[in-house]
Amino acid sequence: MNPSTPESQPMQFCAPVKKQAAQAQGPEWSVDAIQALLDMPFMDLIWRAQSVHRAHWPEQDVELATLLSVKTGGCPENCGYCPQSSEFDTGVKAQKLMSVDEVTAAAQAAKNAGATRFCMGAAWRAPKDRDIEKVSELIEAVKGMGMQTCATLGMLAPHQAQALRDAGLDYYNHNLDTAPEYYTDVVSTRQYQDRLDTLQAVRQAGISVCCGGIIGMGEAPVHRAGLIAQLANLQPYPESVPINSLVRVPGTPLADSDPVDPLEFVRVIAVARITMPKARVRLSAGRQQMGEAVQALCFLAGANSIFYGDKLLVTGNPEASDDARLIQKLGLRTSRVNVSEAHTHG
């Protein structure tokens, strides 16, 4: 890799120097500036977001990605939203890592249904080196099928990130979840800086970053602005930004959180698009509860990626056939297959 390229440079966190920020992707976004965007009249905000979107992306383009839990449950972390934590009684049973044959069968089904990116998630706090060796085999197998590969395995050391890159990993997902000042209300078994350190290790290894957050965990509007500020000010900002609406799972501490106003969620999508114009903004968890109209507004606001398939790790997701129908209704286009093919395999 050319050491002068932005992708090979360490990411800088928390108030990057103005000159460096301008060289990488433009001026730093303050929390106040992002809050001002969130507070815009709704129609004006959507117009601005769609204008930014069309300036950087094909108008009707949407990426289909599939997420598979390759190692489920038993995580020692206490993330308040997660049904895979061993601290919560959610009915999720711990399972061992899936075999190469099991994963490639799932990847082939996803590919047949139109997915271009295959994401593998494992419920670890931080994988051991022997875990990385096994996941590397999965990455090599899926990569050999002609799909983009993504993994989310918890915290990584730099040498582990490099091993995943050597295996052919394209993207690593590690969400910031929320603003730094609200983080300890959601998770106490690790620090915000732990997340930033993993992102830096991933970036230094030459892997593209997939990083976003969750809306609806009881946070205040300023925390949503703070989350977007953190993401937008990473140098460079993530190539992929998943925005999740909390799925309230019984047994988790956040099960009784108040639902997010749908238009407030759309606003977050719009501001993510405006502040990170070249990122894939992924409409992620919670789509099953949104309905078609809210999802359509999210696409209008600049979302151009979804998780495709009936499961997101261990929570529900719209049926592939339902997504295919919605894609067709909205006149969206996927990069791999047409809607009728996706519907057939759905």
Q: How far apart are CA 123 and CA 70, in angstroms?
A: 9
C-alpha Rg value of the chain to the nearest Å: 19
Q: How far apart are CA 212 and CA 265, in angstroms?
A: 14
Query: In the chain, what is the straight-line distance between the N-terminal and C-terminal CA atoms, in Å?
Result: 39
Bond before 76 cis per omega within 30 degrees: no
The alpha carbon dihedral of 223, 227, 232, 235 has a sign of positive
Angle at 68 between CA 64 and CA 73, to 5 degrees: 145
Q: How far apart are CA 257 and CA 244, in angstroms?
A: 14
Q: How far apart are CA 139 and CA 143, in angstroms?
A: 6
Do residues 94 and 142 touch, judged by C-beta distance below 8 A? no
Q: How far apart are CA 225 and CA 178, in angstroms?
A: 9
Task: Tell the burial category of 115 from Cβ atoms under 10 Å away from its Cβ (0-12, 13-18, 19+).
Answer: buried
Do residues 180 and 226 touch, judged by C-beta distance below 8 A? yes
Q: Are strands 61-71 and 305-307 parallel, antiparallel or unpaired?
A: parallel
Do residues 128 and 156 touch, judged by C-beta distance below 8 A? no
| 149 DSSP 8-state letter | E
Element (H, E) at 103: helix 100-112
Q: 166, 69, 177: which is closest to 123 by C-alpha?
A: 69
Residues known to be catalytic = 75, 79, 82, 119, 150, 210, 282
